[in-house]
Amino acid sequence: MSIRRLPSELITRIAAGEVVERPASALKELVENSLDAGAASIAVRLAAGGLELVEVADDGWGMAPGEMALALERHATSKLPDDHIEDVTSFGFRGEALPSIASVARLTLDSRVADADGWRIEIDHGQAVREGPQALPPGTRVRVEGLFDKVPARRKFLRSPRAEYAACIDAVRRLAMARPDVGFSVEHDGRRTLSVQPSDAPTRVAALLDRDLDRHGLGVDCARDGLRLTGVVSLPTFNRGMADHQYLFVNRRPVKDRLLVGSLRAAYRDLLARGRHPIAALFVEVPTSEVDINVHPAKTEVRFRDPSAVRGLIVGGLRAALEEAGHRSVAREQFAAPVAWTSEVPNLHGWGLRPGARESGRDYAVLFERDSPTSGPSPEGEGRLSDRHSDFAPAARAEVASAPVPAFPLGVARGQVAATYIVAEAEDGLVIVDQHAAHERLVLERMRRASAISEAGGGGVARQALLIPDVVEMDEPECDRLEGAAGELAQLGLEIERFGPNAMLVRATPAPLGTTDVPGLLNDLAAELADLGTALALRDRLDHVSATIACHGSVRAGRILSVAEMNALLREMEVTPRSGQCNHGRPTWVKLAHGDIEKLFGRR
């Protein structure tokens, strides 16, 4: 075996594999260069998802011809004036991107500094083929054609133009969110597909992700231990079936980090059903000494010195914002279009879907959809509506509207429909509350408060002693788990003891639950504890367990409530954090505004 030094051309091509994986990564590098060059506006043109052409034109400060030649050499950068790689604030600093791209494609570099003439250099797979003067506006334009045409090994891994285009647009979106002060446009196969003007961060995020974030998003802004978190997240009821709209920026640099996924999951725990995901664009500012950005050639990953501090900041910041949102929910305009509300009862099942949601291909939760049995028995009115139609009438009861409506956000109860929904009159419209969903959330929040108090030395959740202790038979490992958690459960008002190898003795249940199905509760808890393992902090475990317990204690759909009970529920919702959604992320209430009602009757 003989060892040899590789020729520099080969070294560059090997390095290119790390920096340029697909059109989107070349595009990302070029746009970052434009941003680093102080561009105010960046125009991207793509053909066939970037496989045929990736072009980026900017109005930045440009390069003189000598600088252009140098820019195409490996390890040549203008961005590290001294050797302090720790302090870089530019996107680039490795001096690799341009030569790497040029080694695996045909690249045309046009550039002009103000007050000078423009210049063009053409490179074909690493070889300079032509250069000379070129008439240009000030700034830089880079064209990359036939990426990987001559590198079959790489070409094999490229996907369809559609998929490559999706990756390209995602790359632009990330950078456009990071720099709302810069204008961006994208043209694909001759069609304008993205265009954003300079704006502030919230407007930019909404423009790129979802315009409705303006109304259904929560602003986040908090700081802790020298770290700062800003950004926007969606209300839990404004969720998606895919975790694709979640973006993290560290010191304005878009990064892909597992930490974001975990933090979002923790923050939205018990606010979202499994398989539903929030929208998030979060900006973390950390001192440069606390983060290493040079861990990945594409600079899309970072390493935090103290990841748990960052995670804590995100989870804490988001939970605070969500708590503040209180009973806010995605309500109102779901019913705005008359199609959603007609006088025919069988249309009831169409209610919850936003009008037009299906057509526009958007993916929102179906609001009135019932999920797994853990959320309780099926409500009345489910099943084939034609069979159930007759059930509706006898279950409805009403309160005569008399005095003027006091200014409660959720209004005063006027009646109950299908023994499941509370109908209330608010100053500005008609409110419908899902009593089961709402109550489940209230029980959870009550238990949380009580258990927080008990941590602070108070009495914990009140317990209700059983006249005759209940014996529940279970598997030995399940009993072991419950026995191990007996202390925590006692704080939540559930008093249990081991009763032989295969059974537990239940002496008291949490008072907020009322009478409950004790074996069902114990089984669910055992499963929950198995899921959680022992890794979680006590506080987190209590939270999880409270949610499981709360599911068992709700006013079931199908229970007739008195007007006083209904009003008490509404008032409690108004003052309870996170009461706008149940523990599975569905809204607990919806509102039909007066204007919407008028539309239904053709009055407007």
Ligand X SMILES: Nc1ncnc2c1ncn2[C@@H]1O[C@H](COP(=O)(O)OP(=O)(O)OP(=O)(O)O)[C@@H](O)[C@H]1O
Q: Are 367 and 352 a contacting pair, CB within 8 Å?
A: yes
Smallest gap from Cβ 95 to ligand X, in A, equals 4
Q: Which is nearer to Mg ion, 6 or 295 (CB)?
A: 295
140 binds Mg ion (CB under 5 A): no
* Pairwise CA distance, residues 333 & 354, whole Å: 8
Q: Which stretch binds ligand X (CB under 6 A): 88-96, 170-178, 230-238, 259-267?
A: 88-96
Q: Which is nearer to ligand X, 42 or 233 (CB)?
A: 42
Q: Which stretch binds ligand X (CB under 6 A): 90-98, 179-187, 390-398, 551-559?
A: 90-98
Say whether 320 sits in a helix, a strand or coil.
Answer: helix
Q: Which stretch binds ligand X (CB under 6 A): 96-104, 273-281, 430-438, 560-568?
A: 96-104
The DSSP string of 51-108 is TSEEEEEE-S----HHHHHHHTSTT--SS-SSS-GGG--SS--SS-HHHHHHHTSEEE
Residue of 49, 60, 65, 92 interacting with Mg ion (CB under 5 A): 92
Binding mask 137-166 toward ligand X (x if CB under 6 A, else -) reads ---x--------------------------
List Cβ neighbours of 212 (8 Å cut-off, separation of 6 or more).
Answer: 206, 238
Q: Are 184 and 176 a contacting pair, CB within 8 Å?
A: yes
Q: In the structure encoding, which two tokens stand for residue 302, read together?
A: 């970072």
Residue 317 DSSP symbol: H
78 binds ligand X (CB under 6 A): yes
* Pairwise CA distance, residues 87 & 82, whole Å: 10
Residue 247 DSSP symbol: E
For ligand X, the binding residues in 5-34 under the rule CB under 6 A are: 29, 33-34
Closest alpha carbon to 175 in 270, 292, 91: 91
Residue of 59, 96, 110, 270 interacting with ligand X (CB under 6 A): 96
CA atoms lying within 13 Å on the CB side of residue 401: 12
Smallest gap from Cβ 51 to ligand X, in A, equals 21
Residue with tokens 């007759």: 390
Say whether 587 sits in a helix, a strand or coil.
Answer: strand
97 binds Mg ion (CB under 5 A): yes
| Among Mg ion, ligand X, none, partner that 454 touches (CB below 5 to 8 angstroms by kind) | none
Q: Which stretch binds ligand X (CB under 6 A): 72-80, 166-174, 439-447, 587-595?
A: 72-80
Number of residues engaging ligand X in binding (CB under 6 A): 21
* Pairwise CA distance, residues 561 & 6, whole Å: 81
Q: Which stretch binds Mg ion (CB under 5 A): 63-71, 93-101, 293-301, 464-472?
A: 93-101
User: Contacts from 75-79 at CB under 8 Å and sequence distance 24+?
Assistant: 79/36
Smallest gap from Cβ 29 to ligand X, in A, equals 6
Q: Which is nearer to ligand X, 27 or 98 (CB)?
A: 98
Q: Which is nearer to ligand X, 63 or 525 (CB)?
A: 63
| Among Mg ion, ligand X, none, partner that 437 touches (CB below 5 to 8 angstroms by kind) | none
Q: Which stretch binds Mg ion (CB under 5 A): 31-39, 258-266, 272-280, 409-417?
A: 31-39
Smallest gap from Cβ 282 to ligand X, in A, equals 24
230 binds ligand X (CB under 6 A): no
Say whether 246 sits in a helix, a strand or coil.
Answer: strand
Q: Which stretch binds ligand X (CB under 6 A): 69-77, 245-253, 402-410, 551-559?
A: 69-77
Residue of 46, 47, 71, 489 interacting with ligand X (CB under 6 A): 71
Q: In the structure encoding, which two tokens stand for residue 225, read together?
A: 């231990």
Residue of 23, 49, 50, 60 interacting with ligand X (CB under 6 A): 60
* Pairwise CA distance, residues 410 & 426, whole Å: 6
| Among ligand X, Mg ion, none, partner that 71 touches (CB below 5 to 8 angstroms by kind) | ligand X
Say whether 503 sits in a helix, a strand or coil.
Answer: strand
33 binds Mg ion (CB under 5 A): yes
* Residue 119, φ and ψ in degrees, nearest 5: -140, 150
* Pairwise CA distance, residues 533 & 346, whole Å: 45
Q: In the structure encoding, which two tokens stand for residue 548, read together?
A: 């499981």
184 binds ligand X (CB under 6 A): no
63 binds ligand X (CB under 6 A): yes
Say whether 127 sits in a helix, a strand or coil.
Answer: strand
Residue of 23, 49, 50, 62 interacting with ligand X (CB under 6 A): 62
Amino acid at 149: D
34 binds Mg ion (CB under 5 A): no
Smallest gap from Cβ 110 to ligand X, in A, equals 10
The DSSP string of 283-306 is EEE--GGGEE-TTSTTS---EES-
Q: Which is nearer to ligand X, 72 or 423 (CB)?
A: 72
* Pairwise CA distance, residues 210 & 206, whole Å: 5
Q: Which residue's beta carbon is nearest to the bound ligand X? A: 92
Binding mask 294-333 toward ligand X (x if CB under 6 A, else -) reads ----------------------------------------
Helices 518-532 and 538-551, packing angle to 10 deg: 150
Closest alpha carbon to 575 in 323, 400, 241: 323
Q: Are 171 and 49 a contacting pair, CB within 8 Å?
A: no
Smallest gap from Cβ 97 to ligand X, in A, equals 3
- Residues contributing to the site for Mg ion (CB under 5 A): 33, 92, 97
- Residues contributing to the site for ligand X (CB under 6 A): 29, 33-34, 37, 58, 60, 62-63, 71, 76-79, 92-98, 140
